[in-house]
Structure 1
Amino acid sequence: MDAILIALQDFLGDSGSAGILFMALAAAAAFALSMGLSAFIMGLVDPVRRRLGQLGLGSGERLTAAATMAESLSNFAAIVTPRSDRERQRIERLLIHAGYRSPSARTLYYGVKALAVMIPPIAVLLASPLLPKITTNQLMLYAAGAGYLGWISCSMWLDRQVATRQRALRAGFPDALDLLVVCVESGLGLAPALARVADELAVSHPALGEELALVNAEMRAGVERGAALKNLSERTGLEDIRGMTALLVQTMRFGTSIADALRVYSEEFRDKRTQAAEEQAAKIGTKMIFPLVLFLFPSFFLVVIGPAVIGLIDVFTKLAQ
């Protein structure tokens, strides 16, 4: 405690009013953090709320841990939520692409992002007594840098989740397309075919199976088939699935055979995959230049020229003697 008081006195003495303002902001952030954590903990341990969630009473929906956490973090989420509708829609689209379709997903994301921005600077301020030689400007710089790292870490995590899910969807799409062609050509309609493919992919490709099952559920709930297929392309964000859904919508609009259209698209998609593989293979030669130059060539020159260099050194040593 004495060390903290001495550090605070030095801090206020060095920076004057700027230091007082900075410490006031830090104290306000710490107070807001403590209030938010208290509200979050009280929301988790509230027996009435937990009982209502178990019985399904109140709002008529089961209260999940994510919804409770989002409700507790709503005040923090308001701090970093962008005012632009375009930016909010972009984040919502990324969350959907990552597989987070809950209504509270955006609030939970921004709440965690706000905590990630506030907690590291507070930790830096609390750890300042351990570094007595650090100056006020350096402390403010470190705190700002910690907050910035917390900000970009959340964005990087979301981008990584989107890339991981899209990679999983892309890996299962060829199998789903082939199974869909087989099911439609065997006489099944579009909705039963999607349901059968979703069941078959539930184990090998669960992400894509879930998306196809959701399309089938929307159709059975009364959503138009074209709208349900467009929702699939918007949820996944993949160009391949967008092309298939556009083809199916056009086929249903003009009344042509779905089986023939899927067969043609399957053949074109197979050719596209072959061309993509050939493109990747053609890039290998260029990509191998850097590891060859950095790792293989130095060791090769060392083995080939090393003995000659050692012999020359011995000869010049004898001549010098």
Structure 2
Amino acid sequence: MLDQINTQIVDLLGPAGPLIVVGGLAFVLLLACIPMMLSAKPDPLDKLASDSRNRLEAETRQVLRETAKNDKLNKYAQFLEPQDVKEYSDIKLTLLQAGYRGKEAVRLYYFLQFALGLGLLACGLAYYLLFMGPDATPKQMAMYILGPGFVGYYAPKYWVTKRVQERQQTIQDGFPDALDMMLVCVEAGQSMDQAIVRISKELRPSYPPLAEEFQLVSYEMKAGKDKAAVLNDMSERCGVQDVSSFVTVLNQSASFGTSVADALRVYASEMRDKRVMRAEEKANKLPTKMTLTTMMFTVPPLLIILVGPSAVGITEMGNMGN
């Protein structure tokens, strides 16, 4: 029976007939399985886990974003904000470290990237069409059209990065003075909360970013937030290692019941020594940085003064010989 069917298939389709028939049957079975797979009901446990995960992410995003009911950018949130919670938290922390604490900072950041990127891209396209013409090479077209768009898209990121670096440098420079002032206030009998309020007022003319951080800490403590959590939040907002170490020292002092004044005295002394070492490090780097500048602006004039008269004399002797 099977031999007769095989012979008929070979006579009809040739030597590869059996393979064609098997492949056709497999294809038909796959097509038959597709409706069954589409109509299959999901596992209730998987659906429950998925719903819980989606609800948790939605609640987390809502808490992080602090969306207002009358927010004009709320309807564009899915385009102006990352949907991933971790990515949103990272960019929000970066903007906090740059000093942008507004609840719309993330949306404005992405809006500026979007607007500047498209705006400069349109300007580059208009310049290319008006002044370059069809004779431009593909390299020139990419440079004049895509170049401005690239610059516009990454300009907000560059600005925020530079702002973070400048702010962290200011906090790092003013932190030893803040510790000395805090030590004086604590040893004079004031509490830590009163010392922080006093520091936020005294440091504002010299180091505004550090004064803002201490002022925010004082407001959160007055609102009843846990002191350890407030200090940890300050450490994250500053992004400076000295502040993180200071927060660790205060939390350990509170946990073990040791004297805050003694901990501040030791740590303030270390910060003063570290500031002196940083100044010495910059002073030691200065000659190396000045070497290239010195060579560029000193060696050429010196060569002109020394070699110039000889070159003129050789030229005159050559003219006299001729």
Q: Same fold (TM over 0.5)?
A: yes
**SS of match in other structure, 1:100:** coil
Question: In structure 1, how many angstroms separate the alpha carbons of the residues matched to 2:111 and 2:141?
Answer: 25
Indicate the residue corresponding to 1:257 in structure 2: 259
Letter in 2 for 1:185: E
Letter in 1 for 2:223: A
Indicate the residue corresponding to 1:223 in structure 2: 225
Does the aligned pair in 2 maintain the 1:73–1:107 contact within 8 Å?
Answer: no
Indicate the residue corresponding to 1:100 in structure 2: 100
Letter in 2 for 1:224: D
Cα offset, 1:132, TM superposition = 6.0
Does the aligned pair in 1 maintain the 2:124–2:149 contact within 8 Å?
Answer: no
Cα offset, 1:80, TM superposition = 6.1
User: Which of residues 293, 296, 306 in structure 1 aligns to 2:295?
Assistant: 293
Cα offset, 1:305, TM superposition = 2.0
Does the aligned pair in 2 maintain the 1:120–1:146 contact within 8 Å?
Answer: yes
**Can you list the C-alpha shifts for 1:280-318, whole angstroms capped at 9, x where unaligned?**
111122212211222211111111222122222222322
Cα offset, 1:127, TM superposition = 4.1
Indicate the residue corresponding to 2:190 in structure 1: 188
Question: In structure 2, how many angstroms separate the alpha carbons of the residues matched to 1:203 and 1:288?
Answer: 32
Letter in 2 for 1:281: A
User: Which of residues 160, 168, 173 in structure 1 aligns to 2:170?
Assistant: 168
Question: In structure 2, how many angstroms separate the alpha carbons of the residues matched to 1:218 and 1:305?
Answer: 71
Aligned positions of 1:197-208 closer than 5 A: 197-208=199-210
Aligned positions of 1:49-88 closer than 5 A: 71-72=72-73, 75=76, 78-79=78-79, 81-88=81-88
Does the aligned pair in 2 maintain the 1:73–1:108 contact within 8 Å?
Answer: no
Question: In structure 2, how many angstroms separate the alpha carbons of the residues matched to 1:118 and 1:266?
Answer: 50
Indicate the residue corresponding to 2:28 in structure 1: none
Question: In structure 2, how many angstroms separate the alpha carbons of the residues matched to 1:296 and 1:139?
Answer: 42
Structure with max Cα Rg: 2
Aligned positions of 1:149-164 closer than 5 A: 149-164=151-166
Question: In structure 1, how many angstroms separate the alpha carbons of the residues matched to 2:250 and 2:194?
Answer: 15
Q: Please report the RMSD computed on the Cα atoms of aligned residues, expressed in angstroms.
A: 2.5
Corresponding pairs, count: 254
**Can you list the C-alpha shifts for 1:191-244, whole angstroms capped at 9, x where unaligned?**
111111112123332221121111111112111111111111111111111111
Question: In structure 2, how many angstroms separate the alpha carbons of the residues matched to 1:144 and 1:74?
Answer: 29
Does the aligned pair in 1 maintain the 2:98–2:163 contact within 8 Å?
Answer: yes
Letter in 2 for 1:87: E
User: Which of residues 303, 314, 317 in structure 2 aligns to 1:315?
Assistant: 317
Question: In structure 1, how many angstroms separate the alpha carbons of the residues matched to 2:314 and 2:127?
Answer: 59
Does the aligned pair in 2 maintain the 1:98–1:162 contact within 8 Å?
Answer: yes
Question: In structure 2, how many angstroms separate the alpha carbons of the residues matched to 1:209 and 1:83?
Answer: 34
Cα separation, partners in 2 of 1:172 and 1:317, compared to 1, 3 Å: same
Does the aligned pair in 2 maintain the 1:226–1:249 contact within 8 Å?
Answer: yes
Does the aligned pair in 2 maintain the 1:96–1:235 contact within 8 Å?
Answer: yes
Letter in 2 for 1:228: V
TM-score (norm 1): 0.72
Indicate the residue corresponding to 2:118 in structure 1: 118
Indicate the residue corresponding to 2:57 in structure 1: none
**SS of match in other structure, 2:281:** helix
**SS of match in other structure, 1:203:** coil
**Can you list the C-alpha shifts for 1:103-142, whole angstroms capped at 9, x where unaligned?**
1110111111111111122223344542362369554663
Does the aligned pair in 2 maintain the 1:194–1:213 contact within 8 Å?
Answer: yes
Is 2:280 the partner of 1:278?
yes
Query: Which segments of 5 or more consecutive residues in structure 2 lack a partner in the other structure?
Result: 1-65
Question: In structure 2, how many angstroms separate the alpha carbons of the residues matched to 1:85 and 1:245?
Answer: 26
Identity %: 35
Question: In structure 2, how many angstroms separate the alpha carbons of the residues matched to 1:254 and 1:293?
Answer: 58
Does the aligned pair in 1 maintain the 2:81–2:106 contact within 8 Å?
Answer: no
Letter in 1 for 2:205: V
Question: In structure 2, how many angstroms separate the alpha carbons of the residues matched to 1:125 and 1:107?
Answer: 27
Question: In structure 1, how many angstroms separate the alpha carbons of the residues matched to 2:144 and 2:80?
Answer: 21
Question: In structure 2, how many angstroms separate the alpha carbons of the residues matched to 1:307 and 1:145?
Answer: 49
Question: In structure 2, how many angstroms separate the alpha carbons of the residues matched to 1:90 and 1:317?
Answer: 74
